[in-house]
Structure formats: structure tokens, C-alpha cells
Structure 1
């Protein structure tokens, strides 16, 4: 009886767990090595567009995630005074792209992906390093404090500061500061009733969205020097920056505690690596193509990566060919979106807002058009029918 091919995944976030689940479905023995003591995610909520949900359909949990998530789309873009620049419609988005845009807590997605793996597949407190990328004649080798593992395939899902990417491509410049910082929080807001919105100010933006469990997901961004932090606490910083913006932003800030607020500077991979593979090792998710969050596609592209990698696990050059051009284009689009969102010139902002308002009267689907070529992606093989395990 032939030996079952083995895959080792370095990183137990969304990207790594999705890749492990996809590879497990193709008959590989999978081991996930996560250096943290648990799979508890660092972060808040994640927006999943139809392309990511189709990837989850391949894994057999797309409908479950749709049922757990809040549908997005009824809302739009506002100014700090509260004026609507353009409105969006959830039904129109779902019709245009063949499915909804949804929002759920990252922890929920992590739990559902981990449940797709066999018992013992995930090892926490496992700080892994790539010792040998392998080639056509020898397996790849990964070292851990508990010993070395050999594998037919190693998946590097170890994030934006990937040590595996650095080992594969030592001349690559690595991530670059994007010029802005972000805050995120998920909290209950008593009495809150509002439409989802994103609001653009001068070098600042804020978004507020309801979750299905009744809590509110809010995020903010502002241009700032790298590494700067509030002298007191990050809630106080948010109050200084956004406290006089339109409702429901003051109510969200009033309900937040300082410990509810997460802050992270944004870095991205401005120059893609020469390939997403070398030897028997494949880069995936932020390790391959970390991008600014302004299109909400970082995790979505990682889910696409996972199912495409499983499809091309025996031909990693085909994986690179399928993923590098697409993710590079989307990452560059996210950089352009960040520049537009966080513009600082008063004259430029006035022109931007006037143009958006005028164009949206002519084309009500203005915001949706930015997702063309992204949200309509189709996986390379069909979905798994819920409850059957069959395609």
C-alpha cells in the first residue's frame, strides 16, 4: 500500500488551517505547527466576499459560514459630518457576484476550519523552522523543539514576517510600512441601530458594521509615523481622532473600554517574491502577498490560495502561475484604495467626495464595481455538497 503523502503547514491562522483542510481533503496526511499556545486569533472580525465563500464551499463549510455571518451591503460611504456619498445594497451585491458579502468574528472561522482536521493534526507551542526546502529527489525538512519532520510539501503560512519566505528568498526586501495604523474592536453597543458604513475623513477613516450575534465591529485607520502609540490609551486616541464624527461613532466609543481596542501598524509586501514556491515549499496568505486591508481581501485571498494550492500540490509552479499575478494585482489595487481612502489634501478630498457623489448618482453600483474581477472568482474544482463529503 503506497504511503500517504505528508504535508506540514507552518502557521495555524486562517491561511494555514484552510490549506491544511484543503490538503486533507485531497488525501494528504497534514500536520499544522502553530508557535502560539492556542489557535485563539489576534484580531476582530473578517469580511468574506463571494470569492472566499466559494473557497469555503470547496471545503464543505460555505453554507455553514453564511448561516453564522451577518450579510453586508446595506449601507455605504459617508463623510465625517454624516452625509452619504454613495449607498450600497446587499441584494444587488449578491446578484452581481453570485453570493453575499458577509461578516463574522475571526474566531468563528478559525474554529470551523480547525474542526475540518483530524484529531492531533494541530500542534500548538510548536515553533517551526525550515531546514531544507527539498527538491524532486528529497523531501523538505522542518525542525521543531520536538524534532524534525520530513514532508512531501511544506506550506508556509507564517504571516507577513515569514521566516520561511526569508529563507527561500533571502534577497527579497520583505514587508514595508504602508504609512498608516489601524484600530479594531468588537463590542456590544446598547441601543445601537445603524446602517453599515465606512466614513472617509482627512487622513482618517472609520467603519461600523453589525455582527449577527448583536455585537458591533468597528475599525479605524489614520496616517501616522510607524511605531507611534497613544501617550495614555488607544480609546483616548480614538476619541481625539473620531469623537466628533457622526452617529453611531460616538456611541461606539462610549461603549468601548480601553482594553477592547486593538492597534496595529499596517505593513505590506510592496514587491512580490519571485515565486510563491521553491523546492517542495509553497508560500500562502500574508507570507506571500500581505496587502493593506482597504479592499478587505487579505484573508479572502488566503482562502483562495488554500484551495488552489491543494489543486496544484503536485505542481507548485502551476500554483505560482495561478496565484502570483492575481494576488499581485489585487495587492496593488489595495494600495491605490488606501491612498484614496486616506488622502490628506483638502482640495483633493473635496474633489474626491464630489466625484464619488456625482458618479454614484449616475452609477449606483459604483462601490460594487471595485470588486469586479475579485468577488467573481471561481475555484479550480467544484464545491463539496454539504453533509456528503462528495463533489
Structure 2
């Protein structure tokens, strides 16, 4: 077993979007943190991410918005179409205002943009958390290689199966009856599909695609079939092609020409929103953020954007707690420091609890309506709800997390 290392002020578990955003926010405030990542490098799972108004506000606070803007084209609007009802498509064109700035970037590129602003040595790869131990006002973080780290603050940004979340008492996320198939398709000479988010629904599926740039398209299909071998990519691809066979040829070609290596199928998971009413989002000097806090179905595209909100707000709350000065200029004892950190995390919980509940509930409801096979709901959706649901998606993005300091 390696010798115990020196005490860290803040340890963040997970180098995903929320973990890196939190670390970068703290860095901008002059506070050092260590990010523990179990993988050997930055994780690229998830393929691409849609960035909405709330994400841009978070990135402005973190100082990376202009860099990330160069990674993806700005969308012009939505097109939402029932697959087989005969109803015309519903279109929504975005105004040029900042509230409607939406871009799609590849997830790895976003992570690299965040990580590239951090000091060398901030991210420690191949560092898997296996156990958390109490040590007075500190936490002892045990890693799989035998390393033991001591920290004043522990932040869990370690995804839906968060070890930190389990320590706080969170249950495992609930498995949705739906599955998602994700893929990237590259068109060497350009796809010519424009800069709008296309979505098709009905017959128990939801299929959509979005342009990352003129050559790359990110696409998805959600469904409820349990008969597909998720390890057989050829069968996954054939399933998608069969489900979208009635769509125009140029749209079908996105799935038909997708590289098999890019295909991934997984069951959708979410945290029941009522669990957050009584859950310990933070306890003592430990908290969770991102998917460790609010895993949700992807139906309003807010997983990544809300994770960046978490990062900015958490960094601000911790910054205020750790940089506050003793008004009398006296040396602060350990108890006072611990109490300030605890109060800072309580403030973070107040800021994030209801926002998280709202996003999880809205996402689940939108997905249920869009993919429902119930005849009466299908008719109502196709005639009246499509435009409302698209508007609702944008409304939930109109959230400003603020700057890193008040």
C-alpha cells in the first residue's frame, strides 16, 4: 500500500462534464482541486451533446464559451414530424438572440476544452475510487491501487452509478423501459442536411439527428424492444434501418451508412424526482453533481448543459466557503473551516434541488408523450402537442447559473 499523501482541499471524483466544470470553476477562483478519473484518458462515451442557453451561460462563467463555439455550427431551428400519421411537420425557427443559441459538439471535444484550461496534474487518470472512510472532519478516499487520499471536501461527479452517491445514501437509478441507440455518421463530401434538429416519432420509437459540422451527424433512436443483442452492432444497425424505412432516402442514409464501430445501445436510466425531496445531496463535506445527482432520460437534451450549471454553482458555493476571511483576523480553527464548507454545500443543495427535480420530471414526461403508443395520446400529440413540447424544451434551457463570484 502506498503511503498516505498530503491533505487535499478538494477531491472531485469523475472527469466528466460536471467534474471538469467544477474543477475549472474552482481554478478560476484560485482554488486547487484534484480530479480522480478511473479511465486511462478522457471518456468519449456519449458521442455528442447539444448545448443550450444555460450551457453557454455556464461556459461564459468558466471562460471557455468562445473556444467551444468554434467546435459546432449554430442551429437554425427544429423540425418535428410524426412518422406515419400523415400530419405535416412542425417547424420552429430560432431567433438570433442569445436565448436561442444551440450548437452540437462532440463530447470528447467539449471535455478537452474544459480539461485544457486546467493546470497540469489536476486530473489523475487510472484512479478508481473504491471506498470512503471518515477521519474526523476529513474524508479518507481509498483508490483501487491502494492509494489513500485525505480531503477537506469530496465531490462525486462519478455518473449514474456513483460511489459517492451510494455513500450519501442514494439508491441506484431506475431503469426506464426504453433503450437508446446512438451513433455518429461521417460524410466525407458533406451531408447537406442543414443546421436544424430533426426529430421523428411514432410507432413506439423516437428518431432524430443533429449536425455537429458539415461532415458529421449525430443521431439517436429510442425504443422499447428487449430482443436486440446490444453487443451485436450489425443487428442494432438493421433494427434502426427497419424502424425508419418509411422516411426519405437521405434521412435513412444516416443510419444506413453509419460506421458499426460508432453504434452503442444502452437502457435509459433516471432518478425518480421524488427521491431528491429527501435525499442527502450533500452531507458534511461531501456532495454530488451531474449524473450522480440528476440522471435523466435524454428527451429534453439537458444532461450535459445542466451538469455545467452544477459545476459553476458548486464552484461558487465552495469558493465563498473556502475563501471567506475571519472578520477578526484570527486564526481559524478546523471546526470553523468545516462549518463554512458544510454551509456552502447546503447553499449548493438549495440552488440545485428543485432545478434537478424539474428537469428530471420534465424529461421523463416529454419522452413518455413523444414515444407513447396509446392511440388517444398519439392523436392529441400529433395534432396539438408537438409545437408545445418543442417550446418546452427551449424554455427549460432559459436558466442562468450566474458568474463564479457574486
How much has 1:281 moved relative to structure 2? 0.9
Q: Does 1:87 align with 2:87?
A: no
Q: Distance in 2 between matches of 1:304 and 1:164?
A: 20
Gaps of 5+ in 1: 384-390
Counterpart in the other structure of 1:350: 379
Counterpart in the other structure of 2:235: 233
Aligned 1:274-293 pairs, distance under 5 A:
274-293=279-298
Q: 3-state SS of the aligned residue for 2:74? A: strand
Q: Does 1:378 align with 2:379?
A: no
Q: 1:329 to 1:177 in 2, by over 3 A?
A: same
- Write out per-residue CA displacement over residues 211-238 of structure 1, whole angstroms, 9 at most, x where no aligned residue: 2252111111112349864765211121
Counterpart in the other structure of 1:299: 304
Aligned 1:303-322 pairs, distance under 5 A:
303-313=308-318, 314=321, 315-322=344-351
Counterpart in the other structure of 1:33: 36
Q: Does 1:118 align with 2:119?
A: yes
Q: 3-state SS of the aligned residue for 1:72? A: coil
Match of 2:360 among 319, 331, 354: 331
CA contact (8 A) 1:13 1:41 kept: no
How much has 1:303 moved relative to structure 2? 0.4
- Write out per-residue CA displacement over residues 330-354 of structure 1, whole angstroms, 9 at most, x where no aligned residue: 1101010110111112342122101
Match of 1:8 among 8, 11, 26: 11
- Write out per-residue CA displacement over residues 86-145 of structure 1, whole angstroms, 9 at most, x where no aligned residue: 11113x2x52x63501111001101001111111111111111342366xx622221122
Q: 1:8 to 1:42 in 2, by over 3 A?
A: same
Counterpart in the other structure of 1:214: 215
How much has 1:366 moved relative to structure 2? 6.6
CA contact (8 A) 2:316 2:404 kept: no
Counterpart in the other structure of 2:391: 368
Match of 2:259 among 243, 257, 260: 257
Q: 3-state SS of the aligned residue for 1:98? A: helix
CA RMSD of aligned residues (A): 2.5
Normalized against structure 2, the TM-score is what?
0.84
Normalized against structure 1, the TM-score is what?
0.87
Q: Does 1:75 align with 2:75?
A: no
Counterpart in the other structure of 1:183: 181
CA contact (8 A) 1:44 1:186 kept: yes
Q: Distance in 1 between matches of 2:78 and 2:403?
A: 33
Q: Distance in 1 between matches of 2:404 and 2:34?
A: 25
Counterpart in the other structure of 1:101: 102
Q: Distance in 2 between matches of 1:226 and 1:319?
A: 42
How much has 1:246 moved relative to structure 2? 3.2
Gaps of 5+ in 2: 1-5, 322-343
Q: Distance in 2 between matches of 1:106 and 1:320?
A: 27
Q: 3-state SS of the aligned residue for 2:79? A: strand
Counterpart in the other structure of 2:332: none
Q: 1:106 to 1:319 in 2, by over 3 A?
A: same
Q: 3-state SS of the aligned residue for 1:265? A: strand
Q: Distance in 2 between matches of 1:116 and 1:34?
A: 17
Q: Distance in 1 between matches of 2:168 and 2:267?
A: 26
- Write out per-residue CA displacement over residues 6-48 of structure 1, whole angstroms, 9 at most, x where no aligned residue: 2111111111111111112222221111111111321211001
Q: 1:275 to 1:248 in 2, by over 3 A?
A: farther
| Number of residue pairs the alignment of both structures matches | 368
Q: Distance in 1 between matches of 2:302 and 2:36?
A: 24
